[in-house]
Amino acid sequence: MRATAQRDFSGTVLIADDHEVFRLGLVQLLRSSLKVKRFLQAETFSEVAGHLKDPELVLVIIDLGLDGMTSVKDLVRIRRQRSDLQLVVVSGSDAREDILQALWAGVHGYIVKTQHTDQLIDKLRYILSGEIYVPPILAEQPAPEAPQQRLTKKLSSRQHQVLKGLVEGKSNKEIAKGLNVAEGTVKMHLAALYRVLGATNRAHAAALGKQLIG
């Protein structure tokens, strides 16, 4: 994860966690470190749904164990209702399946609560810069074949090559030149990759692809 320059924060942050002490602590941390001025808080998923109507809301920080959340589909609902938001999971779980499920739902980052406060802030800055944060612990855990890994078998050899270029950070033009194909062909393959991977954007597809092909 590369460092990003600090910038003034504008907009409202929603902190959704059923532990009041954690919510209040995070409010103080974000106020002092990121200069966030306005916060909303929720201790149930129904409260989150109500706060999504706030037009000034730009960032949602949510715990997977929030009261009223039934599955990862609830994260999908948030993304569909407010695709303009940045959605970050901050959870006590470091289970591979929880992390992967959240990424498939389209979150912009998954942060484990055991992080030191300065590390948590660094990761939030990284996400706010427009990047997708995938915890390194995902690569450290054993990875038996799972449904998301079997998705790679649905890709053609050319789609694998395009995905590899995407993971390496290459532009469409660079990928096209390396494969000796038209840039429009690369765009066509990327559209197919987004559908297969369930990716919401280019950065999301690259993050997911990194976990699938290394």
Give phi and psi for 174, each to the nearest 5: -70, -40
pTM: 0.67
How far is CA 183 from its chain centroid?
27
Instruction: Tell the CATH topology of 147-209.
Output: Arc Repressor Mutant, subunit A (1.10.10)
HEC letters along 94-144: CCHHHHHHHHHHCCCEEEECCCCHHHHHHHHHHHHCCCCECCCHHHHCCCC
Determine whether domain 12-140 maps to CATH 3.40.50.2300. Answer: yes
Q: Is 202 or 143 the better-scoring residue by pLDDT?
A: 202
Q: Is 40 or 92 the better-scoring residue by pLDDT?
A: 40
Classify the phi-psi angles of 155: left when phi > 0, otherwise alpha if psi is within -120 to 50, otherwise beta.
Answer: beta
Over residues 107-113, the mean pLDDT reads: 92
CB 30 within 8 A of CB 6: no
Q: How far apart are CA 164 and CA 174, in angstroms?
A: 12
Over residues 193-198, the mean pLDDT reads: 78
Instruction: Output Rg (C-alpha) for the chain, integer angstroms.
Output: 18
* 53-67, 129-143, 191-205: which is most confident: 53-67
Unique residue bearing structure tokens 């559209």: 191
pLDDT on residue 167: 87
Q: Can you name the residues that pair with 59 across neighbouring β-strands?
A: 13, 86
Residue 4 reports pLDDT greater than 50: no
Q: What is the DSSP letter of 84?
A: T
For the segment 120-168, what is each residue's pLDDT rounded down to a tens digit? Answer: 999 999 898 888 888 887 666 554 444 455 555 667 788 889 988 988 8
Domain limits of the chain?
A: 12-140, 147-209
CB 17 within 8 A of CB 63: yes
